[in-house]
Amino acid sequence: MSYTVLVFVKQVPDTQNITGDAMKADGTVNRAALPAIFNPEDLNALELALELKDRFGAKVIVGTMGPPNAAEVLRASLYRGADKCVLLTDRSFAGADTLATSYALSCCAKKLGKFDLVLCGRQAIDGDTAQVGPQLAEKLDIPQLAYIEDVIELSKKKITVKRSIEGGYEVLESPTPALLTVVDSNEPRPAAARRMMKYKKARTITELNKEHNNADYTDSEALAVEQEKLEASDLLIHEWSAAYVGADIERIGLKGSPTKVKQIQSVILTAGDAKQIEPTDKGVNDLIHELIEDHTLG
Amino acid sequence: MSDKIGNVWIFIEQEGGVIADVSLELVSKGRELAQELGVKTEAILLGDNLGGCVDKLYHYGCDTVLMAEDKRLEPFTVLPYAKVLMSLIKEHNPNILLFGATYKGRELAPRVASEKLAGLTADCTELRIDDFDDKVNKKSYKNKLMQIRPAFGGNIIATIVNTWDDPQMVTVREGVMKMDEPDTSRKGKLIKVIPEISTEDTIIKVIERIREEKAVNLKAAPVIVAGGYGVGSADNFKLISDLAEALGGEVGASRAAVDAGWIDHDHQVGQTGVTVRPKLYIACGISGSIQHRAGMDESKKIIAINTDPDAPIFSVAHYSIVGDLNVVIPKMIKAFKAKV
């Protein structure tokens, strides 16, 4: 008996490690200069899916919505053990808020057919909203299990999970299919060397095209042959458009997003008017004295 | 649909009949917004055996309490809560709906927003009423809720507006809004709701539930000594706790120190931890990401100790010590002990 587990992941700018190189002269962040990474908690979701594959036998399908170069996180998923990958990419998806994103992902999940579980990371580090998981569950009309630390038991009809709650944990039982949002509670496995050797050749059609164009080689028939070869050796990263997954154009991208951004202000770091204290005995003594005098301490 | 503007709703989070602080903070904020809009402040109270919560909600400023009691609403599971909330929204059309950005709030709000096709903004740090000209779509909106939140890892502050149907939904973290003093003379109106919950809504079962009250209470601490990545190791965190103990304070930490495994998450200050406003905050070896600063920059006095003179933490400090915490902290302990 085998399960089908979908994992939805996101490529995000690395907002947690902003170095001097990504800062502009005015103290704001140059977003374009940030490296794109695999959203950390999505790696935890992928790891949980791969553990389910090891424990119960499962086909792990990884999907992402993003620009063509988001194929990078899909290759990273293949290196770790994913069986199939789908890149949901279309200009009309651009500018989506969480509602429009969850709708697009729900179309992708439905297109993939029958599944037992959908896994997502709890939240992405670029928005920190934790909304897409629960919204996707609602769109698919399946129960959601949030903040999952581990899967205790899985059968064809139900799943038992351990999840974090405020100040503790709960064990929940739910029928499947169900959606799980996964927290940072496992150690994502590294890329496997042997898989890397094989899947570094995995390509989307866009990438294949681009490589051919760069080589000034545009014979469409040859391209089709190449694509078939990739598919036959499991190296094709599927690229799906909005139309292909049957998404209603009114419900995706900016159009499908109820929230609008009125204003963006960059956070500018200004030097405060702090009092400089020398790290000497005298400096520290005077500081403590001042704080006791004004009743901050003591 | 009538032109009459709906009321301001606050989803009241309770555990065993005890209302979460964040819900009372949101009642205070909600009341301010409602007064500006000329509408009522209404509490949405779900659970079982909740009679003891009602007066408190009036005292904190609710005009109305809509209460649904049912044993299937205890303990919290997301599906029956979403069902009841959704049917109340359809019946009453609230204008604004506020949730605490807690485990429950962050699980429930998106499920409801998705079904209602309403916008939802997470972790707002400021809320106010203003008009909005949507230049892209050439539409103007009056008296909308400005949903202000840090985004992009806290490097930008975005003002977001929900332009679709009401309610305008947001979540707010605990400690971000200020709680007003209760007025025990206030009274309100109780509306008991008969929840319609079907067997489909109770398919998620809670098999086991372990909850402990937090051992650390950062919010109530007058002094917080917090350590960051610059502390260097779990062992060296002893230095932080020694200073905290000497000054009669609690130990705080940045996310980097928590992620490194040097200290428990209960100690984390910042956007994904606790928001604090102590009399004195001592940041030791904390570079001061905006997420961290957002959780402590309203402290009355801030001392920052860091070897890097360009560390962002110095931008919010009242006292800057450019130096090694391993040298400075022992000096502070010695100086304090000598004075008292």
Task: Kindly give the confidence (pLDDT) of every residue in chain A, 298 residues in length, as a single tens digit, with 9 standing for 90 and above.
Answer: 699 999 999 999 887 666 656 666 665 666 677 889 999 999 999 999 999 999 999 999 999 999 999 999 999 999 999 999 999 999 999 999 999 999 999 999 999 999 999 999 999 988 889 999 999 999 999 999 999 999 999 999 999 999 999 888 999 999 999 999 999 999 999 999 999 999 999 999 899 888 877 655 556 777 788 888 898 998 999 999 999 999 999 999 999 999 998 888 877 655 557 889 999 999 999 999 999 988 888 7
Q: Residue B102 carries which side chain, given as an amino acid letter?
A: T
> CA-nearest residue of chain B to A137?
B111
Q: Does A97 touch chain B (CB under 8 A)?
A: yes
Residue A34 lies in a domain: yes
pLDDT at A143: 98
What φ, ψ does residue B147 adopt, rounded to 5°?
-105, 105
pLDDT at B272: 74
Of the candidates A99, A166, A287, the beta carbon closest to that of B103 is on A166
Distance CA A240, CA B185 (A): 62
B8-202 classified as CATH 3.40.50.620: yes
- State how far the alpha carbon of A193 is from the alpha carbons of A7, A80, B188, in Å: 22, 9, 67
Q: Residue B8 carries which side chain, given as an amino acid letter?
A: V
Contact B68, B45 (CB under 8 A): yes
Q: Does A24 touch chain B (CB under 8 A)?
A: no
> CA-nearest residue of chain A to B224?
A297
- Chain B residues in contact with A145 by the CB 8 A cut-off are 204
Distance CA A28, CA B203 (A): 48
When scoring B321, B327, B334 by the number of chain A Cβ atoms within 10 A, the one with the most, hence best to mutate, is B321
Cβ–Cβ of A99/B120 closer than 8 Å? yes
Domain count, chain A: 1
Cβ–Cβ of B120/A131 closer than 8 Å? yes
Nearest CA to A99 out of A255, A242, A258, A260 is that of A258
CATH of the domain at A147: 3.40.50.620
Cβ–Cβ of A174/B118 closer than 8 Å? no
What lies within 8 Å, CB to CB, of B125 at 6+ separation is: B148, B149, B150, B157, B172, B173, B176, B294
Distance CA B250, CA A236 (A): 55
pLDDT at B298: 84
- Chain A residues in contact with B315 by the CB 8 A cut-off are 269-272
What lies within 8 Å, CB to CB, of B149 at 6+ separation is: B121, B122, B123, B124, B125, B157, B158, B160
Q: Does A150 touch chain B (CB under 8 A)?
A: no
- Chain A with chain B: Cβ pairs closer than 8 A: 249
Q: Where in chain B is the domain with CATH 3.40.50.620?
A: 8-202
Cβ–Cβ of B111/A145 closer than 8 Å? no
Cβ–Cβ of B119/A259 closer than 8 Å? yes
| C-beta neighbour count of A232 within 10 angstroms | 9
B34-60, pLDDT tens digit by residue?
A: 999 999 999 999 999 999 999 999 999
Q: How is domain B223-339 classified at the architecture level of CATH? A: 3-Layer(aba) Sandwich (3.40)
b/e B271-308 (16+ beta carbons within 10 angstroms → b) = bbbbbbebbbbbbbbbbbbbbbbbbbbbbebbbbbbbe
Residue A121 lies in a domain: yes
Of the candidates A126, A133, A260, the beta carbon closest to that of B152 is on A126
pLDDT at B157: 86
**DSSP 8-class letter at A250:** G
Residue A97 lies in a domain: yes
B304-340, pLDDT tens digit by residue?
A: 999 999 899 998 999 999 999 999 999 999 999 998 7
Q: Where in chain B is the domain with CATH 3.40.50.1220?
A: 223-339
pLDDT tier at B2, thresholds 50, 70, 90: very low
- Chain B residues in contact with A263 by the CB 8 A cut-off are 158-159
Describe the crossing of helices A220-232 and A205-214 by its angle, rounded to 10 degrees. Answer: 130
> CA-nearest residue of chain B to A264?
B158
Q: Does A268 touch chain B (CB under 8 A)?
A: no
Gap from A287 CA to chain B (nearest CA, Å)? 8
Of the candidates B77, B78, B158, the beta carbon closest to that of A261 is on B158
Distance CA A58, CA A3 (A): 4
pLDDT at B3: 62
What lies within 8 Å, CB to CB, of B41 at 6+ separation is: B7, B8, B10, B27, B30, B31, B34, B61, B62, B63, B64
Cβ–Cβ of A145/B204 closer than 8 Å? yes
Cβ–Cβ of B120/A138 closer than 8 Å? no
**What region, left, alpha or beta, does residue B29 occupy, with left being phi > 0 and alpha being psi -120 to 50 degrees?**
alpha
b/e B86-115 (16+ beta carbons within 10 angstroms → b) = eebbeebbbbbbbbbbbbbbbbbbbbbbbb
Q: Is A199 exposed, middle or buried (0-12, 13-18, 19+ CB in 10 A)?
A: buried
- Chain B residues in contact with A29 by the CB 8 A cut-off are 152, 155-156
B241-250, pLDDT tens digit by residue?
A: 999 999 999 9
Kindly report whether the peptide bond that precedes residue A190 is cis, defined as omega within 30 degrees of 0. Answer: no
Give the mean pLDDT of B228-246.
Answer: 95
Q: Tell me which of B1 and A233 has the higher pLDDT.
A: A233
Residue A181 lies in a domain: yes
Of the candidates A160, A260, A279, the beta carbon closest to that of B321 is on A279
Contact A137, A118 (CB under 8 A): yes
pLDDT exceeds 80 at position B297: yes
Q: What separation, in Å, do the N-terminal and C-terminal C-alpha atoms of chain A show?
A: 67
Q: Does A284 touch chain B (CB under 8 A)?
A: yes
Q: Does A233 touch chain B (CB under 8 A)?
A: no
Which range marks the domain in which residue A149 is found? Answer: 3-202+237-251
pLDDT at B52: 95
pLDDT at B86: 97
> CA-nearest residue of chain A to B208?
A171
Residue A266 lies in a domain: no
Q: Is A31 exposed, middle or buried (0-12, 13-18, 19+ CB in 10 A)?
A: middle
Gap from B325 CA to chain A (nearest CA, Å)? 9
- Chain A residues in contact with B121 by the CB 8 A cut-off are 259
Gap from A241 CA to chain B (nearest CA, Å)? 23
When scoring A179, A251, A297 by the number of chain B Cβ atoms within 10 A, the one with the most, hence best to mutate, is A297
Q: Does A13 touch chain B (CB under 8 A)?
A: yes
Cβ–Cβ of A173/B204 closer than 8 Å? yes
Contact A185, A150 (CB under 8 A): yes
∠ Cα B109 B115 B116 (to 5°): 85
- Chain A residues in contact with B109 by the CB 8 A cut-off are 131
Cβ–Cβ of B208/A171 closer than 8 Å? yes
Nearest CA to A84 out of A154, A178, A4, A194 is that of A4
> CA-nearest residue of chain A to B156?
A266
Cβ–Cβ of A265/B157 closer than 8 Å? yes
B271-288, pLDDT tens digit by residue?
A: 777 889 899 999 999 999
pLDDT exceeds 50 at position B1: no
Distance CA B140, CA B152 (A): 27
Threshold 0.90, pTM exceeds: no
Q: B-contacting residues of A 172-211, CB under 8 Å?
A: 172-175
Cβ–Cβ of A31/B152 closer than 8 Å? yes
ipTM of this complex prediction, to 2 decimal places? 0.88
pLDDT exceeds 60 at position B198: yes
Q: Does A32 touch chain B (CB under 8 A)?
A: no
Residue A135 lies in a domain: yes
Rg (CA), chain B: 22
Distance CA B86, CA A241 (A): 32
pLDDT exceeds 90 at position B12: yes
Q: Tell me which of A190 and B151 has the higher pLDDT.
A: A190
**DSSP 8-class letter at A45:** H
